[in-house]
Structure 1
Amino acid sequence: MKTAAEPSRTVSTPLKIGAFRRFASAGLISATGTAMAPLALAYSVIEQGGGAGSLGLVLATNTVPTIVFLLMGGLFADRLSRSRLLFLGNVLAAGAQGALAVTVATGHATTMSVAACGFVSGTAASFTVPAAQGAVAQIVPEEHLHQANALLRLPSNAVKVLGPAVGGFVVAASGAAWALAWDAFTFAVAAVLLLGLRLEAPPATPDGVMADLRAGWAGFRSRTWLWSYTAAGTVLVAAWLAGFQLLGPLVAARQYAGARDWGLIQAAFASGLLAGTLVCLRWKPYRLLMVAVVTGGALALPLTAMACGVPLLLVLVAALLAGIGLDVAIVAWNTAFQQHVPRAEQGRMSAFNGVGERLAIPLGYLVTALAAHSWSSRGILLACAGMIALATVLNLCVPDVYRVNRITPSRRSRASDDDREAAQA
């Protein structure tokens, strides 16, 4: 599966592949808009008189489609051209954000119209996420996947450090409509870039959609390392969102200097993500999945630090280390996934993995809301940190975690020779 823009696979770095540069540029441009969108979305609700309930409805309608339609997106990614899916998904998102920007600018926005646009954007994401995972493996040679995944994370993490501040300035100076319009524009530019990839569709299967879905589930279930990592990831995401995103601002208000210190903690975490990408550009671990599991466990550090009420400097260090660990885990996991899952199945496997982790979002918030009536914030933070540590340890007990390692051309060649000798015997 090659691209029309890729005449040769013998390259020394992914940056020498024209299709990869196009794919990475699309991601960078889109990230500049995506970083501003949450703040602009919140203030578009506030500007038309909505409160916490209205904002919750808008956020829910943006999240629910990514759970409901993600499996369908995975099926499509294994049946159709992934570049075409990425193009259509970005066009759909551009239309939704553009329509929202117009309604906000003209003063005709309502909670329902904002929620409707969010629903469309969430639907678009459920088709582009599985397609993007498989597209990288089509574009980049196997030996350069780790570096490619790190390079793709580098600009998006840099934008995460600066984007919210720039978005806040734009919203404060010009209103939410301009930030939403910029988000729509970046989706449109990304769509044009992605259309030029022209990736071939995976080999067609004679079976129907439901048969493909059943085959995908059987493949997911048969790979112990895949479903065990997904299960552990669901726990990690739920505990992290509940402890850091939900309780973090409350703890910062009670134990530290409120919004100012919480902003510093978030900045430290975002800086850690960027630093983690730089680590991945230099370090290519052999035991990919084991590294992903261990470094993901670093998310327990800032939760433990805040629960223990340590000085702010130690919380900042813990948040920085958590960011580094999370980004190393993401790059290692993406590389392991792309190397060990057949390309024709990557859309469905990515969707099954994504559904589990996205279900953690409402689960984490719901459990925290219920526990808050009986437990203190400190107790919940410690429980969340304990869940992350326990999930990490249990995942390390899975033998397959130590078998999913980085594949080099020489290892692939030796494996092929062994297979041929076994067949001849």
Structure 2
Amino acid sequence: MTSNDTARSGGPSDARPPGPRSRDPRSRLPSWAGRNFQLLVTASFITNLGNSGALIAAAYAVIESGGSATGVGLVAAARTLAMVVFLLIGGAVADRIPRQRVMVTANLVNALSQAAFAVLVLAGHAALWQMALLTAVGGGAHAFFSPASEGMVLSTVESAHAGKAFAVFRMSMNGATIGGAAVGGALVAAFGPGWVLAIDALGFAAAAAMRSRLHVAAGDRPARASGIVSDLREGWREFVSRSWLWGIVVQFAVVNAVVGAAEAVYGPLVARDHLGGAGPWGLAMAAFGVGTVGGGLLMMRWKPRRMLLAGALGVFPLALPSATLALASPLWILALAMFITGVAIEVFAVGWMLALHQEIAEDKMSRVSAYDWFGSVAVTPIALALAGPAASLFGRTQALWGCSAVVVLLTGAVLTLPDVRRLERRTGGGHGVVAGSTVAHPDAVPAQPTVKAPSGGVGEGAADVS
């Protein structure tokens, strides 16, 4: 459903500040939030702000060029398909070369692809194949960015402050989602989608500049004597050895697909026909962002012992937006459904983060993360491409009800896995046998996880889910 949502207490992989520093009495920032942490959070805030608007802009760029639901779905599918193709390679590369370099390069590629998209739309010459190609380029770049980003944010603070750092990062991203969706929808309505895409391109360029200024150490990841194929096999063994991990990824492979189809394809069309267009749809998306902030505040206080069980239960409300769209409900009801979904997905996000943090070895994290991302988005291009034909064949309302039913059925199915119900939070460091789990990982050290997000999007921080 991200990403990314993504401390370590076992050796750093990118950079870690040398130790606590005295706090400048003139600064409002806590002493643990050093320069690297500030740069990373600011860069991610900027790109997430732009992406929330660009998600809406991309859909309406297709609609305004005369495209149908099928066209909207094909453009959205092109990006996700590129991610699927390159994710595993991206994960292996990120475990071999400096992750900062991979992230900066990916940001620059996203900036160029979004700039070209904006120019075509502003010039009035954007053909469907061109929009699909440019979103595919951005998706390919994100396939390298996502695995490389695992570990960067939380590795910039001492492990004792990792929980606070993750909370601050999530709150920042959720705030950007709120502002980006609301402002982006209003800008699309007032000035058209091209200018919103141009702003997103500038945001990626600014993020690349910020990430290039990070002071990162080489880290202590072991040198790779094996080839990429061997690395991927090792990551696969780590992935399939845990039923809770592959079970939830299989669940989200389909959940992400149907929720992505509902929000990226059907949602803008329902908004056009019944709610008044891009502006109201942006407000509904912003309500989701407000919900994630509320969920973040909830999870700062609530620490469920069985974090995956709590998280899995939090997936059920993802069926609500599709149901309200099927009913063509008034804006306030849709916004309420999106708000509840935002709260619920944050409960899942924190539980997922804690489980991966607790169970996966740092030096294998990017490869496991790549399988996580790959599985979670593999079906999405098919769903996006078929969303339009499905609406034509069965009707848009019936297709939306089908999306809701799939979410409920698969979430119920994943709850039948014993490890999902029994995996417990450990208060101490290190790794041993998880209570109720059939799998132990004796040499693992904490790592930063991926977190699923329920929507599709353009570039970093949007729709990539797991």
Q: Taking structure 1 as the reference length, what is the TM-score of the superposition?
A: 0.82
Match of 1:423?
none
What letter matches 1:158 in structure 2?
Answer: G
Distance 2:122 2:391 in 1: 39
1:287 and 1:9, CA in 2 relative to 1: closer, same or farther beyond 3 A?
Answer: farther
Is the 1:102–1:177 contact (alpha carbons within 8 Å) kept by the matching residues of 2?
yes
Could you tell me which runs of 5 or more consecutive residues in structure 1 were left unpaired when the two chains were aligned.
Answer: 421-425
Match of 2:42?
25
Match of 2:305?
286
Match of 1:131?
148
Aligned-residue offset at 1:75: 0.7
Match of 2:352?
333
What letter matches 2:40 in structure 1?
Answer: F
Counterpart secondary structure, 1:134: coil
Distance 2:332 2:190 in 1: 32
Aligned-residue offset at 1:44: 5.3
Distance 1:262 1:107 in 2: 23
Distance 1:132 1:289 in 2: 23
Match of 1:317?
336
Distance 2:268 2:408 in 1: 22
Is the 1:5–1:197 contact (alpha carbons within 8 Å) kept by the matching residues of 2?
no
Counterpart secondary structure, 1:135: coil
Give the alignment partner of residue 8 of structure 1, picking from 19, 23, 39.
19
Question: 1:144-191 deviations in whole A, cap 9, x for unaligned?
Answer: 444433322222222222223423444566555543332222212211
Q: Which has the higher helix share?
A: 1
1:390 and 1:143, CA in 2 relative to 1: closer, same or farther beyond 3 A?
Answer: farther
What letter matches 1:400 in structure 2?
Answer: D
1:287 and 1:103, CA in 2 relative to 1: closer, same or farther beyond 3 A?
Answer: same
Aligned-residue offset at 1:402: 4.0
Could you tell me which runs of 5 or more consecutive residues in structure 2 were left unpaired when the two chains were aligned.
Answer: 1-11, 23-28, 434-440, 443-466
Counterpart secondary structure, 1:412: coil
Which has more radius of gyration? 1
Distance 1:227 1:50 in 2: 40
Aligned-residue offset at 1:379: 4.6
Match of 1:182?
199
1:302 and 1:247, CA in 2 relative to 1: closer, same or farther beyond 3 A?
Answer: same
1:318 and 1:182, CA in 2 relative to 1: closer, same or farther beyond 3 A?
Answer: closer
Is the 1:77–1:85 contact (alpha carbons within 8 Å) kept by the matching residues of 2?
yes
Matched, 1:412 2:430: yes
Is the 2:182–2:282 contact (alpha carbons within 8 Å) kept by the matching residues of 1?
no
Distance 2:52 2:225 in 1: 41
Q: Does 11-20 or 136-145 show the bigger shift? A: 11-20
Counterpart secondary structure, 2:425: coil
Question: 1:175-233 deviations in whole A, cap 9, x for unaligned?
Answer: 55543332222212211222214253532221111111111111111121110110111
Q: Does 397-406 or 271-280 show the bigger shift? A: 397-406
Counterpart secondary structure, 1:7: coil
Q: Does 277-286 or 347-356 show the bigger shift? A: 277-286
1:46 and 1:401, CA in 2 relative to 1: closer, same or farther beyond 3 A?
Answer: closer
What letter matches 1:7 in structure 2?
Answer: P
Matched, 1:271 2:290: yes
1:257 and 1:193, CA in 2 relative to 1: closer, same or farther beyond 3 A?
Answer: closer
Counterpart secondary structure, 2:150: helix
Matched, 1:84 2:101: yes
Matched, 1:160 2:177: yes
Is the 1:157–1:274 contact (alpha carbons within 8 Å) kept by the matching residues of 2?
yes
Matches within 5 A, 1:225-240: 225-240=244-259
Give the alignment partner of residue 51 of structure 1, picking from 63, 67, 87.
67
Aligned-residue offset at 1:127: 0.6
Match of 1:209?
228
What letter matches 1:200 in structure 2?
Answer: A
Is the 2:76–2:384 contact (alpha carbons within 8 Å) kept by the matching residues of 1?
no
Distance 2:186 2:156 in 1: 37
Distance 1:42 1:308 in 2: 21
Aligned-residue offset at 1:81: 1.5
Give the alignment partner of residue 94 of structure 1, picking from 91, 102, 111.
111
Pick 1 or 2: higher relative contact order, CA cutoff 8 A, min separation 6: 2
Is the 1:277–1:327 contact (alpha carbons within 8 Å) kept by the matching residues of 2?
yes
Distance 2:105 2:372 in 1: 23
Counterpart secondary structure, 1:181: helix
What letter matches 2:211 in structure 1?
Answer: L
What letter matches 2:81 in structure 1?
Answer: V
